[in-house]
Structure 1
Amino acid sequence: MKTYEVTITETLQKTVEIEAGCHAEAEGLVRTAWKNGVHVLDADAFTGVDIKSVLKPRSRGHER
């Protein structure tokens, strides 16, 4: 049998409206609010999953 490392990546997404002078300011304000727990993404914000596998390399001392 071969050994695989499988990575599961879930994507959560939420759109918020904010007034700002430019897009960089808007992103900064939302980033700060998110860090402060104002915008919490939960299961309702789930938009997808990606599952990828790679063959785990054999260790150097492994015999066939």
Structure 2
Amino acid sequence: MKTYEVTITETLQKTVEIEASCHAEAEDLVRTAWENGVHVLDADTFIGVDIKSVLKPRSRDHER
């Protein structure tokens, strides 16, 4: 049997409106609010999943 490492990446997305003087300030304000728990992403904001696998390389000990 071969060993695989499988990575599961879930994507959550939420759009919020904010007033700011420029896009950098808008992103900073929302980032700060998100870090403070104002914007919580959960199962309701789920938009997709990506599952990828790679064959785990054998260590040199197994090759002998």
* TM-score calculated relative to the size of structure 1: 0.96
Quote the offset at 1:5 in angstroms: 0.2
Quote the offset at 1:63 in angstroms: 3.8
Show structure 1 runs of 5+ residues with no match. none
Tell me whether 54-63 or 15-24 shows the greater mean CA deviation.
Answer: 54-63
Structure 1 runs (4+) deviating above 2 angstroms are: none
Quote the offset at 1:46 in angstroms: 0.1
Q: Deviations over 1:20-50 (max 9, x none)?
A: 0000000000000000000000100000000
d(CA) in 1 for partners of 2:11, 2:27: 19
* TM-score calculated relative to the size of structure 2: 0.96
Q: Sequence identity of aligned pairs in percent? A: 91
Show structure 2 runs of 5+ residues with no match. none
> What SS does the aligned partner of 1:6 have?
strand
Q: What RMSD in Å do the two structures reach over aligned CA positions?
A: 0.9
Q: Which has the higher helix share?
A: 2
